[in-house]
Amino acid sequence: MSTALLLALIPTFFFVSVTPGMCMTLSLTLGMTVGIRRTLWMMLGELIGVGLVAVLVVVGVAALIVQYPELFVGLKIAGGGYLFYLGIQLWRSRGKMAIDLNGRPKDTGRWQLASQGFITAVANPKGWAFFIALLPPFIDATQPLPAQMATLLSVILTLEALSLLVYALGGKSLSKVLQKSGNVRLMNRIAGTMMIGVAAWLALG
Assign 162 a pLDDT band (cuts: 50, 70, 90): very high
pLDDT attached to residue 101: 52
Mean pLDDT of the chain: 78
Evaluate whether 62 touches 194 at the Cβ level (below 8 Å).
no
pTM given for the model: 0.74
The Cα–Cα gap between 36 and 23 comes to 15
Residue pair 6/152 in contact (Cβ under 8 Å)? The answer is no
Residue 45 has pLDDT above 90, yes or no: yes
User: Residue 142 pLDDT more than 90?
Assistant: no
| Residue 41 confidence class, pLDDT cut points 50, 70, 90 | very high
* Nearest 10 degrees: Cα torsion 159, 160, 161, 167: 110
CA–CA gap between residue 76 and residue 120 (Å, rounded): 8
Comparing C-alpha atoms, which of 156, 185, 163, 187 is closest to residue 35?
187
Return d(Cα 42, Cα 37) in angstroms, integer: 10
Domain boundary assignment for the chain: 3-15+22-204
Q: Is the pLDDT of residue 80 over 70?
A: yes
Q: What is the DSSP track for 79-132?
A: HHHHHHHHHHHHHTT-STTSPPTTSPPP---HHHHHHHHHHHHHT-HHHHHHHH
Overall average pLDDT of the 108-114 stretch: 85
What pLDDT score was predicted for residue 197?
Answer: 79
Q: Which residue has the higher pLDDT, 170 or 142?
A: 170
pLDDT of the residue at 200: 80
